[in-house]
C-alpha cells in the first residue's frame, strides 16, 4: 500500500466548497434516502472499476454490510452534498488499520468524472481528521482501474509502493 505521513499535510479542519457541503458519514444514519443513494453509488462505482474482474452478484443488504464494515471510521469518512438539491455528490471512506499508528483510505467516488475534484476536498478532510486524531500515517491501495482512487493518489504526496498484478482466468480448464 502507498503511505502518506500526515505531518506533511497542512490545512484547516473546516473546508468550504462553493456548491457543496461536507458532512461526516454518521449523518446518513438519520437519512434513509441518502443512505440508499450512497450504497447504490458505491456499488455502481465498484462494479464499473471491476469490469475486467467482475464482482459477485450481491443483494442490497450485502452491499450495505460492505459499506458499513466494522473497521469503518464514520467520523473520518465524508460525503459531499449538493447545497441546492441536497443530493449526494461524492464520498470517501476511512478505515482502521491493523497497525495502531495509521488508518486506511477506503472506497471513494462520485457520480461522474466531472465531480472527481470534490474527492480532493473530502480526502483532505480525512487527512486532517487522521492527524488531529493522533494517527501518524494514512495508507491507500490505489487500483489503476479506479479513476477516483487514482485522483486521490495524484493529489497528495503518497510514497509509492509496488504494484500488484492481477491475473484473470478467461476460460475455465476442461476436465
Q: Compute the chain's Rg from CA coordinates.
A: 17
SS3 of the chain:
CEEEEHHHCCCCCCCCCCCEEEEEHHHHHHCHHHHHHHHHHHHHHHHHHCCCCCCCCCCHHHHHHHHCCCCECHHHCEEEEECCCCCEEEEEEEEECCCCCEEEEEEEEECCHHHCCHHHHHHHHHHHHHHHCCCCEEEECCCCCCHHHHHHHHHCCCECCCCCCCCCCCCCCCC
Q: Considering the domain boundaries, does residue 161 fall inside one?
A: no
Range of the domain at 47: 2-155
For residue 47, is pLDDT > 90?
no
Domain count, the chain: 1
CATH of residue 34's domain is 3.40.630.30
Q: How far apart are CA 26 and CA 18, in angstroms?
A: 22
Q: Considering the domain boundaries, does residue 171 fall inside one?
A: no
Q: How far apart are CA 156 and CA 8, in angstroms?
A: 9
Q: Considering the domain boundaries, does residue 16 fall inside one?
A: yes
Q: How far apart are CA 114 and CA 70, in angstroms?
A: 31
For residue 132, is pLDDT > 90?
yes
Per-residue pLDDT tens digits for 83-122 = 999 999 999 999 999 999 999 999 999 998 888 889 999 9
pLDDT band of 49, cuts 50, 70, 90: confident
Average pLDDT over residues 113-134: 91
Q: Give the global pTM.
A: 0.85
More confident residue, 73 or 15: 73
Amino acid at each position: 500500500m502507498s503511505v502518506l505521513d500526515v505531518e506533511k499535510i497542512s490545512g484547516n479542519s473546516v473546508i468550504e466548497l462553493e456548491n457543496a457541503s461536507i458532512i461526516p458519514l454518521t449523518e446518513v444514519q438519520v437519512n434513509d434516502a441518502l443512505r440508499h443513494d450512497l450504497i447504490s453509488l458505491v456499488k455502481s462505482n465498484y462494479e464499473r472499476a471491476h469490469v475486467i474482474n467482475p464482482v459477485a452478484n450481491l443483494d442490497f443488504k450485502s452491499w450495505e454490510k460492505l459499506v458499513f464494515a466494522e473497521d469503518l471510521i464514520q467520523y473520518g469518512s465524508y460525503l459531499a452534498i449538493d447545497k441546492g438539491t441536497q443530493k449526494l455528490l461524492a464520498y470517501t471512506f476511512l478505515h482502521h488499520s491493523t497497525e495502531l499508528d495509521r488508518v486506511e483510505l477506503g472506497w471513494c467516488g462520485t457520480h461522474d468524472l466531472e465531480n472527481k475534484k470534490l474527492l480532493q476536498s473530502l480526502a483532505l478532510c480525512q487527512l486532517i481528521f487522521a492527524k488531529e486524531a493522533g494517527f501518524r500515517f494514512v495508507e491507500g491501495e490505489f487500483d489503476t482501474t479506479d479513476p477516483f482512487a487514482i485522483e486521490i493518489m495524484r493529489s497528495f504526496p503518497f510514497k509509492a509502493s509496488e504494484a500488484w498484478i492481477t491475473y484473470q482466468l478467461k476460460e475455465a480448464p476442461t476436465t
